[in-house]
Amino acid sequence: MVINKENIDNKEIVEKTNNCYEYRLDYYWKSLSLYAVVLSLFIFVKEIANDAKIIDAIYKPVIFLLIFIVTATTISLLFQIYQKKRLLISEDNIIIKNRWRERIISREKIKKITFVKDRFNKKNDIRLIRIRIYRTFFLRINPGYYENEDQLIKDFQSIKSKFNL
């Protein structure tokens, strides 16, 4: 199925392609929950040990730092949710889309697809997909950033083998 610029926003077409990969937000949720738990434990310990002068000297800078980290993580999580990053793959196009911009890379523009494997891990996991566009421009896609990364790698491998890239 060919995805044209006119019908990208149509959710039926995105569901029919079955190759829509959403940006993974697990890291933001995990770090936000960890920082919030540490902040609440630190406040709880402060309330229990109310008489210690050493805790008062350490308390204010650390608590402000933790509040700043929790706030920054929350803002970045909300921004990533608002941004709605997606990667759409069809036989003819690769579409990188967020809320404000979309980039359509047609099959004719792709010169080569390279899979960069993890050197230090003995599993030979693919950690980066490099797509050469024209002669000098590389598009780097980290499959770990997207949901269902194994299927994403399989899709790129099938495109590479189908078109001999």
Q: Cα–Cα distance between 155 and 161 in angstroms, integer?
A: 10
Residue 52 has a pLDDT of 59
| DSSP character string of the chain | ----GGGSS-HHHHHHH--EEEBP-HHHHHHHHHHHHHHHHHHHHHHHS-S-HHHHHHHHHHHHHHHHHHHHHHHHHHHHHHH--EEEE-SSEEEEE-SS-EEEEEGGGEEEEEEEEPSS-TT--EEEEEEEETTTEEEEE-GGGBSSHHHHHHHHHHHHHHHT-
Please check whether residues 89 and 75 belong to one and the same domain: no
Residue 15 has a pLDDT of 47
pLDDT tens by residue, 29-76: 899 999 999 988 888 877 776 665 656 656 678 888 889 999 999 999
Please check whether residues 57 and 121 belong to one and the same domain: no
Please check whether residues 132 and 142 belong to one and the same domain: yes
Which of 83, 108, 125 is the C-terminal boundary of a domain?
83
Which of 47, 66, 83 is the C-terminal boundary of a domain?
83
Q: What is the pTM of this model?
A: 0.71
Please check whether residues 39 and 59 belong to one and the same domain: yes
Please check whether residues 68 and 96 belong to one and the same domain: no
Residues of the chain with pLDDT under 70: 1-18, 49-59, 122-124
Please check whether residues 58 and 74 belong to one and the same domain: yes
Please check whether residues 47 and 90 belong to one and the same domain: no
Q: Cα–Cα distance between 157 and 162 in angstroms, integer?
A: 8
Give residue 144's domain range.
5-23+84-163
Residue 86 has a pLDDT of 92
Please check whether residues 41 and 106 belong to one and the same domain: no
Residue corresponding to tokens 């079955």: 18
Please check whether residues 90 and 107 belong to one and the same domain: yes
Please check whether residues 123 and 150 belong to one and the same domain: yes
Please check whether residues 94 and 131 belong to one and the same domain: yes
Task: Count structural domains, the chain.
Answer: 2
